[in-house]
Amino acid sequence: MPVSHFSRSQATPISSRSLWFAGTAMVLALLLSSAAFFVPQVYLPWLAGIDALLVLHGVINKGNLGGLLRYILLQLLFTMVLYLAIHGGNQVGQGVMAVARILLALLPGWWLTSTVSAEAIGELLSKVMPSKWAFVIVASINLLPFMVNEAREIYQLQLLRGARISPKQLLNPRNWSELCYCVLFPLLVQLLKLAQQTATAARARHFGHKSRRTHWRPGQSENGNK
């Protein structure tokens, strides 16, 4: 899923069935990715068959395979050039097999992210990490659209001030430092201030008063908060 498309409105309660599916999918993806590196060559067709089923399932769930295929083609090209330069075409098959293993290692991860929602994976992670860090991850992801907007606003303002950071001007590497000074550095200052404000807001809602995970219910009086 493209980062810019993630929004708070997509957050919905996760059913226990979805959580089980997400957990199983994560373990399966981990096992299959690892198997691509470790199984003997004779078992690779079996692994390819399983991955083909996952690809079919992912495509049915409207997963986009284009980016992954472009990456693999680039890897294949680079590896083939190296094999031809070093081994003179004697071991090209070995290079193709190596890239095929890389593809088999990447496909389960692609399937996982195509079929399991981001919220389900987040909920799952919150069960295995401290509540403070689970809160940090959820807050960071929910504030991502805000950060992107903030960056866009800073960029537009600096353009109006005459900074040489328009897409055409950025083709010149000499203008890259201006992008850092005018956009990236102020954005980090804003992020640090945002972190302070978020922490103050969370503490005002009694975050961190109890070791276990708590939820703030909107409309609840301060005295009645649990």
Partner 1 sequence: MATNSQSRGFQLQDALFIGFCATLLVALKSMLRLRLGLSGHSMLLMSFFYLTCYCTVARVGAITACGAMAGAVAAILGVGKGGPILLVKFLAPAIAMELTLLLVQNLLTLRWRLIVVAVAGAIVWSAKGLLEDLLVGMSWQVASVRFAAKVGSGGVFATIGALLVIPVVRRLKAHDLLYRDSKIDQEL
Binders of partner 1 among 5-64, rule CB under 8 A? Answer: 6, 26, 29-30, 33, 36-38, 41
CA separation (Å) from 206 to 57, 152, 166, 169, 186? 44, 33, 44, 48, 30
89 binds partner 1 (CB under 8 A): no
- Shortest distance (Å) from residue 184 CB to partner 1: 8
Contacts with partner 1 in 129-148 (CB under 8 A)? 129, 132-133, 136-137, 139-141, 143-144, 147-148
The piece of 46-54, 86-94, 153-161, 214-222 that touches partner 1 (CB under 8 A) is 86-94
Q: How far is CA 209 from the centre of its chain?
A: 31
Nearer to partner 1, 53 or 189 (CB): 189
Contacts with partner 1 in 145-164 (CB under 8 A)? 147-148
- Tokens at 137, concatenated: 């991850």
CA separation (Å) from 48 to 33, 45, 105, 124, 195? 11, 5, 10, 28, 45
Binds partner 1 (CB under 8 A): choice among 11, 65, 109, 159? 109
Nearer to partner 1, 102 or 159 (CB): 102
What gap in Å lies between CA 18 and CA 55, rounded to an integer?
20
What gap in Å lies between CA 203 and CA 72, rounded to an integer?
47
